[in-house]
Amino acid sequence: MTNARTLTIVLFLLFVLMTLSITVWASRQTRNATDFYAGGRSFSAFQNGMAVSGDYMSAASFLGIAGIIALSGYDGFLYSIGFLVAWLVALLLVAELLRNAGKYTMADVLSFRLSQRPVRTAAAVSTITVSIFYLLAQMVGAGALVALLLGIKPGQTFLGMTPGAAKVATIVLVGALMIVYVVVGGMKGTTYVQIIKAFLLMCGAILMTVLVMVAFRFNLSSLLGAAATKSGSGSAFLEPGLRYGKEVAGDATQTFYNKIDLLSLGIALVLGTAGLPHILIRFYTVPNARTARKSVLWAIGIIGFFYLMTLALGFGAAALVGGKAITAQDKAGNVAAPLLAQTLGQRYLGGSTGGAILLAVISAVAFATILAVVAGLTLASSSSLSHDFYANVIKRGQASERQEVVVARVAAIGIGAVSIVLAIFAQNLNVAFLVALAFAVAASANLPAILYSLFWKRFTTSGAVWAIYGGLIASAVLVFFSPVVSGSATAMFPGHDWQWFPLSNPGIISIPVGFLCGWLGTVLSATPTDAAKYAELEVRSLTGAGAH
C-alpha cells in the first residue's frame, strides 16, 4: 500500500510537471484576447475533439459511473447513454451555429441581436452558477478520493496530516494548480492539459477493459453472469430498477415518484450537455464551423467508446472486486475503478506489486481527470466574468483586449479562491447532487435561451432574461426543497425536513419552465424584432460570413 501511494504521487507529479511545462510554453504563445479565450482558434478537429472529451469526461463519468454500475448494476449505464446521446443536441442544433456567430462566450450568441447588458448579465450569472456547482463537485470529489486512493485510514497520518487535513490539502492543491493552468496558459494551455488527460484516461480505461475481458475470455455474457451472481441480486442486477425508478411494494405514490424521477434524470442528462458553458466555449478554439463539426464527431467517437468501456469497468468491478469490498472503502462506490485496477494488477501483472502499480496508475489518471476538468470550468467562468460582465456590461464594450485579459486572469484567481473555500466547506455535500444541479441549470436556463435565440425570430431581450433566470431559479428552488437536501436519510441535512418536492432531479419540471418563461417573456414584451440584426445573426450563423 505504501509503495502504491508513493508511486501514485510520483506519477501524479509527473503529470503535473508535464502539463505545467506545456502551460508555460503556451503562455509564451498567448499574445492577445483570442489566444487567451479561444487558444488562437488554431486547434485541429482531432485536437479539439480530444480536448472536448477531456473536458467532458469528469470524475463523475469515470469514477462515478463505474461505481454506480458496480453497486447497482444496469442503472449506471443510463448515465453513459444519456451523456452520449446528449451530444446529438450539440452536434445538430448548437455547435456550428454558435461557432459562426460567437466570439468568446455563450453570451456572445445570446446577446447578438438583443440588449447587451441585461442578457450578458443573466448569461454570466448562469455560466458562473453552473460552473461553480460543477467545479465544487469535482473538488469535493478530489478531496474525498485522496484519502481513499492514498490509502489513508482514519487514525493514520500521511506526511503528518490526518485524513481531514489531507483532504483540505488536496482541495487547496487542486485549486492552486487549476488557477495556474488558467492564469498562465489561458485556453491554449488548458486545451493541451485536456488533450493529455483524455489520452491518459483512454489508455487507462482500454487497459482495464482488455484485462477484464481477458479474465472472462472475451465473453460478455459470462462477465455479466459473474457480476450478477457476486452482487447477490441475481438477474435483477442486469436490469433497470435497482437504483432508479424503484418499485416500493405497497406504496404506489412513492413508486410513481420514483419512476417520474427516473424520467426527469433521463431528460436532464440529455439536454444539459449543450448548455454547459465550458463545453460550448471549446467550439471557439477551432478555425471555423466545419472544424467545429468535425471536432464534435471526434468527441462523439471518443466519448462513446469510453462509455462503452464503463460497462466492462463497472460490471468487472462488480464481478472481480464485489460490492461489499467497494462499499467498505467508500459508500458511494467511487473507488470501484481504482479497486478493480488493483485486483487486475494482482492477477495479471504479478502479485501485490502489480496490483500496487496498476492502482497507482489509475489513481493518478483519476487525479489528472479531475484537474483537467476543473481547469476547463475555471476558464469558462472567468471568461464569462471578464468578457460578458466586465467588458460588455461594466465597460459597455469599451474595454481594450489587454484590459479584458488582465481581468480574466484576475477573475480566474478570484473564482479559484472562492471555489477552494466553498469546496472546503462543502466537503460533506453529495457529489452527485452538485453535478445534477449543474446539469439541471444548464438544461433549464441556458439551453432554452440558446435555442430560441438561434431559431426563433421573435425572441426578445425579456424572453432571454426570463428564460435564464426562470430556469435557474426553478431548478435551484426545486433542488432546495427536494429529498436530496432535506427530509431523507441520505440528504445533505439529514436531521432537517423542509422537503416538499418529491423528485431528486428537477429537470422534468424546471426545463419546461425555462422554455415556458422564454416564450412568455417574449410574447408579453412589446419590443419589436430587430429584423436587420436577426438577418445578420441568421446569415452569419448559417453561412459563417463575418465569423471571428
Minimum separation from the CB atom of position 163 to other proteins (A): 38
Is residue 192 within 8 Å of 22, Cβ to Cβ? yes
92 binds other proteins, rule: CB under 8 A: yes
Instruction: Give the residue, chosen from 15, 43, 62, 74, that forms a contact with other proteins under the rule CB under 8 A.
Output: 74
- Of 325 and 538, CB closest to other proteins: 538
Instruction: Give the residue, chosen from 122, 147, 224, 364, that forms a contact with other proteins under the rule CB under 8 A.
Output: 224
Binding residue count for other proteins, defined by CB under 8 A: 62
Euclidean distance between CA atoms 505 and 501, whole angstroms: 10
- Provide the 10 A C-beta neighbour count for residue 347: 16
Report CA dihedral (47, 50, 54, 56) to the nearest 10 degrees: 110
Is residue 107 within 8 Å of 384, Cβ to Cβ? yes
398 binds other proteins, rule: CB under 8 A: yes
Euclidean distance between CA atoms 217 and 404, whole angstroms: 57
Minimum separation from the CB atom of position 222 to other proteins (A): 7
Cell 425555462 appears where? 514
Minimum separation from the CB atom of position 334 to other proteins (A): 22
Q: Taking the mean position of all CA atoms in its chain, how far away is CA 263?
A: 20
91 binds other proteins, rule: CB under 8 A: yes
Identify how many contiguous H helices and E strands the chain contains and give both numbers: 23, 0
Minimum separation from the CB atom of position 81 to other proteins (A): 5
Write the DSSP symbol of residue 395.
Answer: S
Minimum separation from the CB atom of position 407 to other proteins (A): 16
262 binds other proteins, rule: CB under 8 A: yes
For 291-359, the DSSP string reads HHHHHHHHHHHHHHHHHHHHHHHHHHHHHHT-HHHHHHH-TT-TTHHHHHHHHHHHHHTTHHHHHHHHH
Euclidean distance between CA atoms 430 and 186, whole angstroms: 30
Angle among Cα 354, 355, 357 to the nearest 5 degrees reads 65
- Of 239 and 251, CB closest to other proteins: 239
Euclidean distance between CA atoms 236 and 378, whole angstroms: 41
Interacting residues with other proteins between 279 and 338 (CB under 8 A): 290, 293-294, 296-297, 300-301, 304, 307-308
433 binds other proteins, rule: CB under 8 A: no
- Of 138 and 386, CB closest to other proteins: 386
78 binds other proteins, rule: CB under 8 A: yes
- Of 403 and 488, CB closest to other proteins: 403
Instruction: Give the residue, chosen from 199, 206, 225, 520, that forms a contact with other proteins under the rule CB under 8 A.
Output: 225
- Of 105 and 170, CB closest to other proteins: 105
Residues that bind other proteins (CB under 8 A): 74, 77-78, 80-82, 84-85, 87-89, 91-93, 220-222, 224-225, 228, 235-236, 238-241, 244-245, 247, 259, 262-263, 266-267, 270, 290, 293-294, 296-297, 300-301, 304, 307-308, 396-398, 400, 531-533, 535-536, 538-540, 542-546
